[in-house]
Structure 1
Amino acid sequence: MIEHFHSGTIDYDIVIRRGALGCIGKWLNVDRNIMVVADDGIPADYIRRLIAQCPHSRLFTFPQGEKNKNIDNFKAILEKLLEHGFTRKDAVIALGGGVTGDMAGFAASCYMRGIDFYNIPTTLLAQVDSSVGGKTGIDFGGIKNSIGTFHHPKAVIIDPDTLETLDHRLLHEGLAEAIKMAATSDSGLFELIESADDLRGNIDTIIARAVNIKKKVVEEDPDEKGIRKLLNFGHTIGHAIESLSGGELLHGECVAIGMIYMSDGEARERIRRVLTKYGLPTTCNMDTDALLSLIRHDKKREESTVTTVHVEKIGSCSFRKMNLHELGNCLKNKEL
C-alpha cells in the first residue's frame, strides 16, 4: 500500500510493501550521487541490496546506538558529502532505525541548505513513528534531540520483511510507539495489539494503522504547534529516563515507562497490562531531581510549563500544562 502525505507544500509517498527494499527505483531517482547512511548493526545484505540499485552511491557507517547520534558523526557525514562533491541535485538515504534517520535527515537538511532525503526504516520503531513527520536531529549536551530541524523526506519506504532480523527486544520496543498512538487515537488498534496471539502475523496491519495516525496528525500540524503534541505521550518523562539510563534502556522502553506516569484509571491498567505482555518495563528507580533537571530542557517547555499528554480513556487524550513542581509531584506520588 501507499499512503500519500500532503501538508501545504510538502508532498511525499509512504510506501508500505514487503520486498520494497529490492526495488527502490520505483519511488526515487537513483541515477545521481547518493550517500547511504547506516549504522554498523544493519545486516550487510540490506546494504548490499540497496547499493546494488544505486550506481553512484557512497556509504557512511557509524557505530550503533543512541550515544552515537552526536555532533561528531553528524559532522563526519557532512565531510563525506563534501569530499565526494555532492551537489543540491544529489541525495541522502537513511537505512536503519530512528537514530540513523534522525542524524542522516539532519545532515541532509543542512548540507547546501538542504538536499533530498529518503528514509528506509528497518526497525519497527522507525517504521511506525520516527520515519514519518520530518523531525531530524542529534543529541547534544546530554539532552536528547536538542539540535535539529524539520526536513521532510522525499519518500519513506517501509519493507516489513526487514523486521525479520530484529530480536524480540527491538521489535517490542518499537511496538511501544504503536501502543502510544493507539492509546491516544485508535482504540481498535489498541485492542488488536492487546489481544494479538501472533504479533508478527499482525505486524503489517499494525504498521499501516500507526503510520496512518502519524500521517494525519502531522498533516494537520506539521510544525508541532498544536495537535501534533499528542505524539509526545510518554515522551516528556521518557526522554529524561532515556538520558539518565546511559544506553541501558532503549527509546521505546523509556516511552513505555513514561506512558504509565501520564495515564490514569482503567486506561493506565490496560496500558500497563499490554506493556507487560510484550516484556516492556513499567517502572524505574531514578532520582527525581535528576529527571526534573533534564525535563527542564524539554523542547516542549514554554517558560515555566511543559505541555504534557494524558490518557484517561483508550483512544483519546488531553493536554495539560504542568510546571516542574507538578511534574515532580507526579514523579514522586504516582505509585508505579
Structure 2
Amino acid sequence: MSTEKQTVFLSGITGYIAQHITKDLLETGKFKIIGSIRSEEKAKALAANFNNNADLSFVYVKDVADPAAFDESFKEHGAKIDYVIHSASPFHFNVTDVNKDLIVPAEIGSAGIFKASVKYAPNLKHFVVTSSYAAVSDAASDLDSSKTFNEESWNTGSFEDAIKNPVDGYYYSKTVAEKTIWKLAKELDAKFGVTAVNPSFVFGPQCFDSAATGTLNTSCEFINGFVHSSPTDEVNGTIKGGFIDVRDVSKAHVAPLLNSSKFNGQRLIMSSARFGNQSLVDVLNEIPQLKGKIAVGTPHRDDNVASELAAVNNDKTKELLGFEFTSLKKTVTDTALQILKVEGKL
C-alpha cells in the first residue's frame, strides 16, 4: 500500500475557514498542500504559524476574479494535484457596484479554477467548493416559517433584485458561483468527483490566536461586537439565521477527499441550528468575565427563533458526515474566550 502523500490545491489559504482546513489536512499526515495566496509577506506569516511545515507550500494568485488567475499555477503543478478545495470566497457587503464587485467575480473565479483543474490536472480525484447556505435560500425566503430547505433547494432570487442591494447581491453571487461549478462539471465532462459545502453563519475560534484581534470575519464579528458592548447597548433583533462551527465546516471539506465516491455530486448544508443576536448574548452572559459588563437585551427572546424561520432539513448532510455538529453554546463560548485570552482578560 502506498504511503506517498497526496497533494491538495487550496485556494484562498489565508481565509478563516481555509486555515482550519489546512490544519486538519496537515494533522492527518496524508496530504501536502499548495495554497494560493496574494503576497509573499502573507505566505511567510502563515508558514510560520504552521511551524514552516514541509508539506505546506504556496503559489501567488493576485486576483481570483481574473479568468486566467489559476492557469500558471496549474500548468506548473497540475500533474501532481490530487484534490482541489476552492475556498477563495469573500464574504462581505462593502461594495459600490453589486454586479461588478460581487456577482461577476464570483462567476469568473469559480469558472477559472474549475477549467484549470480540468485542463491541467489529469490526476485530479475530487473538487470541493466552498459555497454557502446563501445558494440554498434567498434572504427573504429564509425568514418564511412556512418553507423548508434541504440539499436539493436552490436560491431562486432574480438578478434584477440582486443588484438592488449588497445582501441580495451576495446571496445571488454565491448561487451563481456554485451553479457555475455544477454546470461546468457536466459541460466539460469532468472525470473527478465534485462536492459543494454550504455553510450558514460560521462561528468558532480563529485557527491562530494572532488572528483574533481587530475586526474579525463577518460572522464572528457579531460575537466580537457583543464581547465589546456595554450593558446599556441594545440587542438588534433583526439578525437571525443558521449557524455552524468553523471546525465542523473544515471537517466537511476534508471528508470528500477521504471518500470521493460517497460525496460525489453532494451538497452539504452546514447548519447546526438557528440563532438570533439575543441567543448569542444569552450565551456570552454566562461567561464570568463578561457577565454584567456587556449587553443583556431581553434574555431568552430567541429561545423559539427556529419557529420564526424556514425549516432546514439537512439530515442527508449529517448522515453523510457522521459526526455531531457543535452546539451554539460551545461555538460562541470558544470564540469569545479566544478574544478575551488575546486581550489579556482571562
TM-score of the superposition, structure 1-length normalised? 0.32
TM-score of the superposition, structure 2-length normalised? 0.32
Rg larger for: 2
> Relative contact order: is structure 1 or structure 2 higher (C-alpha 8 Å, sep ≥ 6)?
2
